[in-house]
Structure formats: structure tokens, C-alpha cells
Amino acid sequence: MESSNPVLKGAFAPQTRPIGSARSGEGMTNLDNLEQVYNAPAASSTRTGRMTIDDVVIRTGMLFAVLVVVGGFAWTANLGGGAIMLGLIGGFILAMVNSFSKKIRPAAVVGYAIFQGLALGAISRVYESIYPGIVSQAILGTLSAFAGVLFMYRSGRLRATPKFTRTLIGATIGYFVLGLFSLIGAMFGLGNGYGLYGVSGLSLLLAVAGVALASFFLVLDFDQIEKGVTAGVPNQEAWRAGFGLMVTIIWLYLEVLRLLAILRNDR
């Protein structure tokens, strides 16, 4: 009986030639072909067209490489406030494009990394000039938070349940509302705003909350990536996944930087 499985079809096809008339080695041909099929490497994302974790890691690594190179240039050139404004505005515009566009735009994602590198390099230089050594501490703190959240997610201790997601989004809205009031208060001399100079109870609370919220948002990023891989989304979605991770990690780095500055001011 002939198999309906296309892989096994040839291997188990009925023999019409008498056994004695088979040419030497012909009887093993189908079995050899079957063995080659099973020994072949697994299909890559290029062959299947589906996103894998490796795709996300590669795209994210590329984006951060661009960010670090541009940030290093902005740091070395000491570009100042103009570069910060250009980077933040350009990054915000491209973030909106990448967030709301249904089509994946790799050029816009890379452009976002360029603008953010420009802003972060200049911002980091300002902080470093006021608090020597703070940038290396902030980088270490960011990497530690990322690794810690990833470990807790992989171990199942943190999961993006509906309740977790609603609570996190609600807390984030409250965080930004408080941050806006703090900034307005600083403009009218009622506080010190972002906490670059001096310290207040509200600025310290916002900094701690910012680090916690940014860290927990990584859980949502990991969950979306895992769901995308499971659903077999197109491999181009790896650009969107890398973009999402970059947004969260940049936010986390800035919050760690601000918290460290506030703690130094409190000494």
C-alpha cells in the first residue's frame, strides 16, 4: 500500500521489479533519501519566512550597535543641547511612525536608533560632567535589571497576565501624570522637576517608580515576542520586536541615570 505522506511515499512504494533483477545498490536508494531528509538541518527563518528568537536577537543587536556608534560620536563631539533636542524630536516622530504603521519600515527603525543615539550620547555626557562615573553605573544597572527581569520571565515568576498588564498600564498613566505635575511645578519654582539638580521626595519617588515600571514593561515585550514566534508571524516582524525592546531599554536607562543622580544629590 502506497503511503500518502510525501516524505514516505517513495520509501514505501511497492516494488514492481523482480528482486533478482534489481541493479546493485538500487534497493537502498529510497532509504538513503529518507535518511538525508531526517538528517537535514532545521528550516531557518529565511526558508520558512517566520520570525524566530534568533531574528529578534540579531535585529536588536544591530539597532543597539547603531545607537552605540552614534552615541559615542555625540559623546566625543560634546554636541550639547541642540543634539539632545534634535535626537528627542526626531526619535519621537519615528517612534510614532513605527508604532502606528502597519507596514514594517526597517529604515525608520534604524533612523530611530540613530536619533536616540544622538540624544543619549549628549545626555550622558551632560550627566557625566556633573557626576563622574555615573554613566558606567547606569549602564551596569540597566543591564542588571534587564537580565533580572529576563530570568524571572523565563522561570515563570513574571508573566504578562491580563491583571498584570492592566495594573502596569494604570500605574504608568499615573506615573506620567505625576511627572507632568512635577515638571510644571519646577517651571514655577515649586520643586526641582526632573531631579538633575537637588532632590525632593517626589522626584525620588518618580525615579524609583520609573525604574520599576520600565523594568516591568520588559515583561510585556518578552511576552509579545514569544507570542509572535509561536504564532509564526513573518520574520520582518523582528524589526518591530527589536524596536519595542529598544524603546523600553532606553526608557529604563534614562530612569536609572536619573535615580543615580538624585541619590548622589542626597548625599
Per-residue model confidence as pLDDT tens digits over 166-219:
999 999 998 888 877 776 765 665 554 444 444 456 778 888 999 999 999 999
CA-to-CA dists, residue 104 to 2, 58, 77, 115, 204, angstroms: 45, 16, 33, 18, 38
Q: What is the pLDDT of residues 225-237, one digit of tens each?
A: 999 999 999 999 9
Adjacent-strand bridge partners of 234: 50
pTM of the model: 0.77
- How far is the C-alpha of 41 from the C-alpha of 37, rounded, in Å? 9
In a shared domain, residues 133 and 223:
yes
Q: For residue 188, what pLDDT is reported?
A: 60
Contact indicator for 122, 84 with CB cutoff of 8 Å: yes
Question: Residue 143 has which C-alpha cell?
Answer: 543591564
Residue 4: pLDDT band with limits 50, 70, 90:
very low
- The residue among 144, 18, 128, 131 whose CA lies nearest residue 71 is 128
CA-atom Rg of the chain in angstroms: 27
In a shared domain, residues 115 and 209:
yes
Question: Residue 87 has which C-alpha cell?
Answer: 535626537
- How far is the C-alpha of 228 from the C-alpha of 236, rounded, in Å? 11
In a shared domain, residues 120 and 21:
no
Q: What is the pLDDT of residues 26-62, one digit of tens each?
A: 444 555 554 554 454 444 445 568 999 999 999 999 9
In a shared domain, residues 24 and 99:
no
In a shared domain, residues 8 and 95:
no
Domain that holds residue 29: 1-40
Question: Residue 124 has which C-alpha cell?
Answer: 550622558
Total structural domains in the chain? 2
